[in-house]
């Protein structure tokens, strides 16, 4: 490997206020994501919403990709009407990240989906979402305090990439009211909560890429195992792209 692998992280697209006077639409990301990638040895770059036609060009330049958390996906993407508790969609972000995800999978760019990012992976694969989990699981344990992260136990599925990186049940930081409904074709559930909620998805190793999504927020805790797995695979990709051609 030559140099740090370049890890792109998608951003929120929302209104923000700062400095006591400014109120503007922004592309932004909590600092925890940057620190999460940097602590694992990655070189982080922000990927705000852009023209979906440019997703391939962006993916070509990346060694790895993180699909960040954020706003609810548009239910129309998986053929449903909005639930009363589903927030207004952000179409420019949905279009951009779906194109970026497709481009990364096509090129074998290692990727990690976080919360919304995992849900995006499932919808892209043809799966659906449960638009309001409390109605299904009968409790608010996945999002007990709006605006704050809580912890609950997840158990990885043996034989998966997720279990390879996190072999034992552990507590994770959670803040989500939606979850996986039908798992998209080609994906496998690789971790569950105690109530049966799918907490991680991935494409099997046989697909030829590292593509893991988790419903929790690993960037909010000190556990770097997932992002180290991503950065390691991104470093291998960078090493291959930097290697001279045979006979060169």
Residue 191 CB contacts under 8 Å (≥ 6 apart), including other chains: 154, 155, 156, 157, 160, 162, 163, 166, 198, 199, 200, 214
Q: Is the pTM of this model over 0.85?
A: yes
Give catalytic residues, as residue numbers.
115, 217, 219
- For the 6-242 domain, the top CATH level (class) is alpha beta
Q: What percent of the chain has pLDDT over 70?
A: 95
pLDDT at 248: 43
Domains of the chain: which residue ranges?
A: 6-242
User: Is the per-residue pLDDT at 200 higher than 80?
Assistant: yes
User: Is the per-residue pLDDT at 240 higher than 90?
Assistant: no
Q: What percent of the chain has pLDDT over 90?
A: 82
């Amino acid at each position: 490997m030559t140099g740090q692998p370049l890890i792109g992280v998608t951003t929120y697209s929302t209104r923000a206020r700062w400095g006591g006077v400014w109120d503007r639409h922004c592309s932004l990301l909590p600092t925890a994501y940057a620190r999460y990638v940097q602590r694992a040895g990655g070189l982080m770059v922000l990927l705000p919403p852009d023209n979906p036609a440019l997703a391939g060009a962006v993916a070509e330049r990346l060694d790895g990709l993180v699909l960040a958390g954020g706003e609810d996906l548009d239910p129309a993407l998986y053929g449903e009407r909005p639930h009363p508790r589903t927030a207004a969609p952000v179409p420019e972000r949905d279009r951009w990240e779906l194109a970026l995800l497709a481009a990364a999978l096509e090129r074998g760019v290692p990727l990690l989906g976080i919360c919304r990012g995992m849900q995006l992976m499932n919808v892209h694969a043809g799966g659906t979402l449960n638009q309001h989990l409390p109605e299904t699981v009968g409790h608010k344990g996945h999002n007990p305090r709006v605006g704050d992260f809580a912890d609950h136990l997840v158990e990885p599925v043996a034989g998966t990439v997720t279990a390879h990186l996190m072999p034992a049940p552990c507590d994770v930081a959670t803040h989500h009211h939606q979850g996986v409904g039908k798992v998209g074709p080609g994906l496998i559930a690789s971790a569950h909560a105690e109530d049966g909620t799918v907490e991680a998805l991935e494409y099997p190793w046989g697909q030829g890429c590292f593509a893991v999504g988790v419903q929790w927020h690993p960037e909010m805790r000190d556990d770097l195992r997932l992002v180290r797995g991503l950065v390691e695979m991104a470093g291998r990709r960078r090493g291959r792209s930097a290697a001279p051609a045979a006979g060169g």
